[in-house]
Structure 1
């Protein structure tokens, strides 16, 4: 394609998906989407290949959406009509747990299918156990929505809507967020149709071929510049209940083919609590770690992801098999980049980070307001310090690798009967080094209620802090307390009205020997 025309079309595609993603974020009901940006939005061609993603979103959602979109296109090939909207939250087909619901909208110009627009967001509630790790299998964790049509020729599927409405605790919030996904998809469709008509093209297939091929070629060329070989990395961290998880990676750089393979052989096998990770989610954070070091300026699509292969033993904690519980899969999944970065430190030390705090600390609260109305908290994320960089300290209280923001405490206090007594940086928690690790944070809260309430908490790194790299010192481990007593349990806890919860998140590891 002509370079000028390609750039015009490409910038228009990015504008369409980014505008729709930001609109979705603005109109969503859940604070975790509206305030924290826990979402993804992407455009797919007729073959189910992710062509363009919005410039906002989380890696776990974005790269998992690439798989979910491909699966839905394949499953509904030849079965869609104008006005249809597809849905699923199948953990093994999409983003790894029931809370993340994927919506895919076929885009029709008249009766002609020209593309698909998809989004994945984290919903406040999906019934079942909740966001914690205490379920014994996936069926205890919530409502499983197989690949179905949420709308058929523009008409809501009454059976599916009734099932969802009856099986969630906060149906207004869930349907509000689903409506936000559907409406943003319809608006994106209108913009894409207008773009195709304006440039006289019937669909985006030729444009997609050009974008994806150029992205793949550029990624392979970047890999060819690296030193070939096999490089190993390993990370260990404790999870609720005190169990230590090991993630091992062998990163193989094939400079001749321009390909990278990441193999998790030797990692911990899946466990009987809900921190197991499906391969889609492992793939998402593995490719994010590599691409952020290799060629972050290139578009993220099916082409740029193609040269990176991810392997993990079936039944391992990073490639779990049914019916493993998965609702708190981020507890392990967000550590996936850490051993990869340790391996890449041997190849491109100036581009990697030391270990950070890893998984954001997730708290879910369920209870009743003083007037008796039930509430389920939106997931709010509390991050520790990021690992230090070669020439800069690690950012403090920053969600890495997920990239979501913490929901402001004012929003939470307005949405439910909670009061925050402390929220401050945890000074001195970052590891020493030539560059110092980022600081964790301290959060203390209690509930303004006169009756018991339920707490799902999944903190990690309570026994040992993140490793430094290149001679840097480790960051401090975290601390989770209830009424001044250390707690580390994977199960849902029944709390009393006057209980006080304290979180001290880990600091990031240092980079290089201390000066």
Structure 2
């Protein structure tokens, strides 16, 4: 295909999915989507291959959406009709926990199926336990939606709608977000059909083949520049309840074939708390770590992901088996890049970064306001410091690898009876080195309630801070305090109206020996 023509068409595809992702973000009900950007949007061809992704979103959602879209296309092959909309939140088929619901819209031009548009967003409420790690198995964690049709021939499925509405605490917000996903998908379909008609083509299959083939070859070419061999990395960190998790990687570079294998053999076994990770989510953050070190400007699609193979033992904490609880899977999943970066430091030392604070600290609150009305907060996230880079300090209060923003405290105070006492950088918490790690932050709050309230909190790295790299020092460990007392619990906490909470997130590791 002519290079100029390909660039024009590629830009059109990126424009379609990015415009739809931003529209979805604007019209979503959930602040975690609207304010923090916890979403993904991507275009798929008829074979269920991710062709183009929006330039906004989180790696855990985007690369998991690549799997979810493929599963839904396979499940409903030959059974889709104009007006259908597909749905699932199956953790093992999509993004790893019930809160992330994937919507896939088949795009028809007349009676001809030409492509699919998909989105995954974090919903505020899915019933069950909530975002914390305290559930004992996956069935306690909320409503499980297998691959189904949310809409059939343009009409909402009444049975599925009734099931969802009856099983969540805030049905209006949930259906508001589902409607945002559906409407953004329909608008994207109209734009893609218009593009095909302008170009005089029936579908995007030829364009998809060209984009995917070029993306794969460009990724393999980048890998061929690396020194072949097997390189090892290991990361250890504590999680709610004090358990120490170990992630081990063996990263094998096959320079001749232009491929990379990441093997997590030797990592911790799956656990009884809800921090277990499905392989899709492990794959998502593993491939993100590798691709961001190789060439972050390469397109992210089926082709560019193909040269990277991820293996993890079944029953391990990063390839858990049913019925393991998974609702707080990000607590471990966001550490997946850390041992990979340590391994790649042996190959491309100036293209990696030191360990960062790891997972965002996730907080969810439930209770009744002063008028006695029940509320469930949108999840809000707080990041620690990012690890230092070879030539630049680690950004403060910035989470690698998720990239999700924190919901502004003004939004949170307007949506529930919470008062923030402080929110400031934790100066000096970044690790020392030739280049310093980023600082964490301190966040204090209390609730305006007359009755006890429930707190789901999943902090990590309370015992030891993130490692430095290449001789850099570790960042400071985090602190989670209730009324001045240290707390580390996987279970949901019952709080009193006068209780005050203080979060001090970890600092990032330093890079290189101090000068």
Is TM-score (shorter-chain normalized) higher than 0.5?
yes
Alpha-carbon distance between aligned partners in 2 of 1:112 and 1:371, rounded to the nearest angstrom = 54
1:474 corresponds in structure 2 to 474
* 1:174 has 2:174 as partner: yes
Q: For structure 2, which runs of at least 5 residues remain unmatched after alignment?
A: none
Q: CA offset at residue 372 of structure 1?
A: 2.2
Alpha-carbon distance between aligned partners in 2 of 1:9 and 1:369, rounded to the nearest angstrom = 52
Do the aligned residues in 1 keep the contact of 2:17 with 2:53 (CA within 8 Å)?
A: yes
Alpha-carbon distance between aligned partners in 2 of 1:296 and 1:483, rounded to the nearest angstrom = 44
SS in 2 for 1:444: strand
Q: CA offset at residue 224 of structure 1?
A: 0.5
Alpha-carbon distance between aligned partners in 2 of 1:369 and 1:8, rounded to the nearest angstrom = 53
2:101 corresponds in structure 1 to 101
Structure 2 counterparts to residues 338-349 of structure 1, below 5 A: 338-349=338-349
2:292 corresponds in structure 1 to 292
2:440 corresponds in structure 1 to 440
1:199 corresponds in structure 2 to 199
SS in 2 for 1:217: helix
* 1:13 has 2:13 as partner: yes
Q: CA offset at residue 212 of structure 1?
A: 0.1
SS in 1 for 2:150: strand
Q: CA offset at residue 295 of structure 1?
A: 1.4
1:315 corresponds in structure 2 to 315
Alpha-carbon distance between aligned partners in 2 of 1:302 and 1:371, rounded to the nearest angstrom = 51
Alpha-carbon distance between aligned partners in 2 of 1:353 and 1:445, rounded to the nearest angstrom = 32
SS in 1 for 2:366: strand
Alpha-carbon distance between aligned partners in 1 of 2:296 and 2:202, rounded to the nearest angstrom = 31
Alpha-carbon distance between aligned partners in 2 of 1:119 and 1:171, rounded to the nearest angstrom = 20
Alpha-carbon distance between aligned partners in 2 of 1:509 and 1:85, rounded to the nearest angstrom = 45
1:245 corresponds in structure 2 to 245
SS in 2 for 1:181: helix
Alpha-carbon distance between aligned partners in 1 of 2:471 and 2:413, rounded to the nearest angstrom = 42
Alpha-carbon distance between aligned partners in 2 of 1:445 and 1:350, rounded to the nearest angstrom = 40
Query: May I ask how many residue pairs the two structures share in their alignment?
Result: 515
Alpha-carbon distance between aligned partners in 2 of 1:403 and 1:377, rounded to the nearest angstrom = 21
Alpha-carbon distance between aligned partners in 1 of 2:132 and 2:140, rounded to the nearest angstrom = 11
Residue-by-residue CA offset, 1:322-349 (whole Å, 9 max, x unaligned):
0000000000000000000000000001
SS in 2 for 1:105: strand
Alpha-carbon distance between aligned partners in 1 of 2:372 and 2:196, rounded to the nearest angstrom = 52
Structure 2 counterparts to residues 238-387 of structure 1, below 5 A: 238-387=238-387
Q: CA offset at residue 289 of structure 1?
A: 0.2
Q: CA offset at residue 442 of structure 1?
A: 0.1
Structure 2 counterparts to residues 80-229 of structure 1, below 5 A: 80-229=80-229
* 1:42 has 2:46 as partner: no
Q: CA offset at residue 92 of structure 1?
A: 0.1
Residue-by-residue CA offset, 1:56-96 (whole Å, 9 max, x unaligned):
00000000000000000000000000000000000000000
Alpha-carbon distance between aligned partners in 2 of 1:47 and 1:320, rounded to the nearest angstrom = 28
2:401 corresponds in structure 1 to 401
Q: For structure 1, which runs of at least 5 residues remain unmatched after alignment?
A: none
SS in 2 for 1:386: coil
2:23 corresponds in structure 1 to 23
SS in 2 for 1:272: coil
Structure 2 counterparts to residues 48-59 of structure 1, below 5 A: 48-59=48-59
Q: CA offset at residue 126 of structure 1?
A: 0.2
2:417 corresponds in structure 1 to 417
Alpha-carbon distance between aligned partners in 2 of 1:149 and 1:367, rounded to the nearest angstrom = 34
SS in 2 for 1:70: helix
Alpha-carbon distance between aligned partners in 1 of 2:239 and 2:7, rounded to the nearest angstrom = 46
* 1:461 has 2:447 as partner: no
Q: CA offset at residue 30 of structure 1?
A: 0.4
2:78 corresponds in structure 1 to 78
Alpha-carbon distance between aligned partners in 2 of 1:225 and 1:159, rounded to the nearest angstrom = 54
Alpha-carbon distance between aligned partners in 2 of 1:238 and 1:244, rounded to the nearest angstrom = 4
Alpha-carbon distance between aligned partners in 2 of 1:365 and 1:373, rounded to the nearest angstrom = 14
SS in 1 for 2:124: coil
Relative to the length of structure 2, the TM-score reads 1.00
Alpha-carbon distance between aligned partners in 1 of 2:5 and 2:504, rounded to the nearest angstrom = 52
- Give the aligned CA root-mean-square deviation in angstroms: 0.4
Residue-by-residue CA offset, 1:409-441 (whole Å, 9 max, x unaligned):
000000000000000000110000000000000
Stretch of structure 1 that moved more, 131-140 or 362-371: 362-371
Alpha-carbon distance between aligned partners in 2 of 1:343 and 1:289, rounded to the nearest angstrom = 11
Q: CA offset at residue 2 of structure 1?
A: 1.2
Alpha-carbon distance between aligned partners in 1 of 2:24 and 2:192, rounded to the nearest angstrom = 17
Alpha-carbon distance between aligned partners in 1 of 2:66 and 2:473, rounded to the nearest angstrom = 37
Alpha-carbon distance between aligned partners in 1 of 2:372 and 2:28, rounded to the nearest angstrom = 25
Q: CA offset at residue 373 of structure 1?
A: 1.9
1:486 corresponds in structure 2 to 486
Alpha-carbon distance between aligned partners in 1 of 2:388 and 2:222, rounded to the nearest angstrom = 24
Q: CA offset at residue 4 of structure 1?
A: 1.2
Alpha-carbon distance between aligned partners in 1 of 2:46 and 2:340, rounded to the nearest angstrom = 33
Do the aligned residues in 1 keep the contact of 2:369 with 2:450 (CA within 8 Å)?
A: no
Relative to the length of structure 1, the TM-score reads 1.00
Do the aligned residues in 1 keep the contact of 2:356 with 2:399 (CA within 8 Å)?
A: no
SS in 2 for 1:446: strand
Stretch of structure 1 that moved more, 291-300 or 368-377: 368-377
Q: CA offset at residue 403 of structure 1?
A: 0.4
Q: CA offset at residue 114 of structure 1?
A: 0.4
Alpha-carbon distance between aligned partners in 1 of 2:163 and 2:373, rounded to the nearest angstrom = 22
Q: CA offset at residue 368 of structure 1?
A: 1.2
